[in-house]
Structure 1
Amino acid sequence: TQTYARILLGEGLFTLREAAVGFVAGVIIGLALAMVLVRSRWLDRGVVPYIIASQTVPLIAIAPIIVIWGRTNFDFLPWDWQDWMSVSIIATYLTFFPVAINGLRGLKSPAPADLELMESYAASWSQTMWRLRLPAAVPYLFAAFKIAATASIVGAIVGEISAGVSGGLGRRLLNEAFNYTTGPDRLYASVIGAAVLGIAVFLFVVAAERMVLGQQHREAI
């Protein structure tokens, strides 16, 4: 019904907020980590295996821990810590990985001749990063953003289900699963709503990719 569609829209926006915060935080952390690792081969070899290993931890197991940790360890903040913020941390956990790994590949992608040319100009590390490495990494980063955007939705929904958050599509899915025998159509609608949200954020990143890469192509011409 139209009323239930509005309920799903509200829950979807709740989940989207959690996922968006997690996505932005994950992109910042992942890209910063990639920039640090590309500067040191020793750090690259030592840290990347741990980054990969971090993704083997079951999300359902750590979600309640993150929520409890958030409730008890952020009393010093000037605002009240809310459970949805902990869910955003869970989304960040899933998001930073593809950005860090693909970002590292992209930052390493410039040809040795291009790097030598920057050295011949006496370019600093930061100048080489901003003028050569980051532009070369843009296609790799957008590939990571597509994965990260959908992963942030998955992380938010799983976090809502396992962390006991009061709203969101994850909580709605859990509630409708309990009431499946009396209203199966609502469970199916909730599943479709979650899928639509994931597809929507993916298409948003695709549109942004076409705009940015298209602009780069026009500037190159």
Structure 2
Amino acid sequence: MRRALSVVIGLLLMVALWEGYKAVGNPDGTVLFGTRVLPRADDLSMPHVWDMLSRFGRPELTGGRPVWQAVLSATLFTLGITALGFVAGAAVGLVLAVAMQRFRIVERGLLPYVILSQTVPLVALAPLIAGWSGNLSFGAYPWQDWMTVAVISAYLSFFPVAVGMLRGLQSPHASGVELMRSYAAGWWRTLIKLRFPASLPYLFPALRLAGAAAVVGAVVGEISTGTRGGIGRLILEYSREATSDPAKVYTAMVGAALLGLVVAGLVSLLELPLMRHRRRVTVVTM
């Protein structure tokens, strides 16, 4: 209940800030030393919140379906791609984290490249992945554009999981590791009984970051590769009408924002059954 109330209060504050700036802001934007530091507050750049909400109920095109149906359909399409990319990226991140924890030489040799991989711009990466995968096929089933978007989504989402899980697997105190050794527990049993339970507080924040990164990767991937049907493509299509129908552009952006919230909520649901029965341990120092 408290979390839901916080979300509602946060949304109301955002609406108040938007409308407050629109009421007192400069229609041409605030310019400081020749650089615009605050956006324009005119109706073209910042339509009223109620105009954006009412646009959901009007037809996308004359005689067409309502905008909310188009946004919902595109959001669900991107949600499916995001889920696939998130699962693939999380699995790769977990495997890399376990390998780096098990072998110190793997950590020293691989971790810098894992970090370096996130410095590559997605706009440059997406066409390369599309070009590399253009000749791939699974038997009689050719490679699809949505698969390229899923790869891009997984590429962004594996990094938080790999780094966060590695930190979690290395978190047990040396005394706990020595205790497992005194029981003649091997590496695998120590991983399951000690390291993995200790890594859960590190894993779920990493999964939430990975979920957000998967959404960003899917949306940017759809825009970069021109994949039709998703919310990224819808943003691109609606942006062409920014001068004539600015509220319509923001409906697609609202859909993308809601997609991120849905993914974060689903990841939080995964956390509940695992963390509910986890014992709280208080460490007392003398």
**TM bracket, shorter-chain basis:** over 0.9
* Residue pair 1:142, 1:209 contacting (<8 A) in 2 also: yes
Task: Name 2:154's counterpart in structure 1.
Answer: 92
Among candidates 199, 207, 216, match of residue 145 of structure 1: 207
Among candidates 75, 91, 94, match of residue 28 of structure 1: 91
Task: Name 1:10's counterpart in structure 2.
Answer: 73
RCO greater where, 1 or 2, for CA within 8 Å and sep 6 or more?
1
Question: TM-score scaled by structure 1?
Answer: 0.94
**What is the CA distance between 1:67 and its match in structure 2?**
1.4
Q: Does 1:38 align with 2:76?
A: no
Listed one character per residue, the Cα deviations across residues 22-68 of structure 1 (whole Å, up to 9, x for unaligned) are: 00000100000000000111111111011100100001111111112
Residue 109 of structure 1 aligns to a residue in which SS? Answer: coil
* Residue pair 1:70, 1:83 contacting (<8 A) in 2 also: no
Task: Name 2:129's counterpart in structure 1.
Answer: 66
Structure 2: segments with no counterpart, 5+ residues: 1-55, 58-65, 281-286
Q: What is the CA–CA distance in structure 2 between the aligned matches of 1:165 and 1:144, rounded to whole Å?
A: 28
What is the one-letter code of the residue matched to 2:169? L
Aligned residues: 217
What is the one-letter code of the residue matched to 1:194? A
Q: What is the CA–CA distance in structure 1 between the aligned matches of 2:128 and 2:180, rounded to whole Å?
A: 47
* Residue pair 1:96, 1:148 contacting (<8 A) in 2 also: yes
- Name which of structure 1's ranges 42-51 and 201-210 shifts more when overlaid on structure 2: 201-210
Percent of aligned pairs sharing the same letter: 46
Listed one character per residue, the Cα deviations across residues 139-170 of structure 1 (whole Å, up to 9, x for unaligned) are: 11101001000110000000000111012010
Q: What is the CA–CA distance in structure 2 between the aligned matches of 1:108 and 1:87, rounded to whole Å?
A: 33
Residue correspondence of structure 1 range 145-184 to structure 2 within 5 A: 145-184=207-246
What is the one-letter code of the residue matched to 2:221? G
Listed one character per residue, the Cα deviations across residues 82-115 of structure 1 (whole Å, up to 9, x for unaligned) are: 1001100000000000000000000001111111
Q: What is the CA–CA distance in structure 1 between the aligned matches of 2:276 and 2:138, rounded to whole Å?
A: 45
Q: What is the CA–CA distance in structure 2 between the aligned matches of 1:21 and 1:208, rounded to whole Å?
A: 16
CA-atom RMSD in angstroms: 1.3
Question: TM-score scaled by structure 2?
Answer: 0.73
**Whose radius of gyration is greater, 1 or 2?**
2
More helix by share: 1
